[in-house]
Amino acid sequence: MLKFYLSSQTDNLLKKEKFNSNLTMKSITVFCGSSFGSEDIYKEQAVLLGKTLAKNNIQLIYGGANVGLMGAVADGALQSGGKVMGVLPYFLQSKEIAHKQLTELILVETMHERKTKMNELCDSVIVLPGGYGTLEEFFEMITWAQLGLHQKPIGILNIDGFYNYLINLVQNMVEKGFLKQINRDMLLISNNIDELLEMMRNYKAPTVGKWISKDEV
């Protein structure tokens, strides 16, 4: 018989998460790169996203750094009077990349604790261009959603087609039988900030049964 073991941090998600399909977005976690990338539009759109969240009275939750797109989205929100909460591991603070102007900075011990805390603080997620770390954060959040650990909308801001190849890969997973279409449809994708936010406001999580329930832990 197979048994599934969840960490105590993941178990806390099961205990704390409220499954509300009529969610009003009050705080959004943004995952993105600690570099600016090769195109100016990545930074421009990150700043605009931060400003748009602030104007919509949506608190920004992000990784707490002052570098790359992470710093850009935070600066955009702060410049427009928004609230910005950063979550940063202690070892990264020691490298002097912590943003100094945030509304609040939460320090944690590990990278996994960082993701768990960012999940607890938000009711939605947006992914901007980034590298390995951004993809790892994105895939863990979408996997938690697939397993039924949360029902939060997850949006990809596909700036200048940055995620086209990833989107094609996910569709290939469906076509090759490794992913259900209903789980593919959990991904909300747009290259326009306002359109993406509207898609997220109207999101309804799949009603299929969970693979792992609280009683099975």
Look at 95 and 33; give whichever has higher pLDDT.
Answer: 33
Which pLDDT score, from 0 to 100, does residue 23 have?
63
Q: Report the percentage of the chain scoring pLDDT > 70.
A: 84
Residues written for the chain: 217
Tell me the pLDDT tens digit for each residue of 163-177: 999 999 999 999 999
Residue type, 141: M
Both tokens of 93, joined, read 């603070």
Structure tokens at 119: 């999940």
Residues 40-87 pLDDT 10s: 999 999 999 999 999 999 999 999 999 999 999 999 999 999 999 999
Query: Tens digit of pLDDT for each residue in 168-206?
Result: 999 999 999 999 999 999 999 999 999 999 999 999 998
Q: Is 112 exposed, middle or buried (0-12, 13-18, 19+ CB in 10 A)?
A: middle
* Domain locations along the chain: 24-198
Decide: 201 and 169 in contact? Cβ < 8 Å: no
CA–CA dist 7, 181 (Å, integer) = 28
The CATH fold of domain 24-198 = Rossmann fold (3.40.50)
143: its two tokens: 């996997």
Q: How confident is the model at residue 128 (pLDDT cuts 50, 70, 90)?
A: very high
Position 98 pLDDT exceeds 80: yes
Provide the token pair at 106.
């939460």
| Residue 38: Cβ within 10 Å count | 7
Q: pLDDT class for 17, splitting at 50, 70, 90?
A: very low
The string over 85-105, giving b where at least 16 C-beta atoms fall within 10 Å of a residue's C-beta and e elsewhere, is bbbbbeebeeeebbbeebeeb
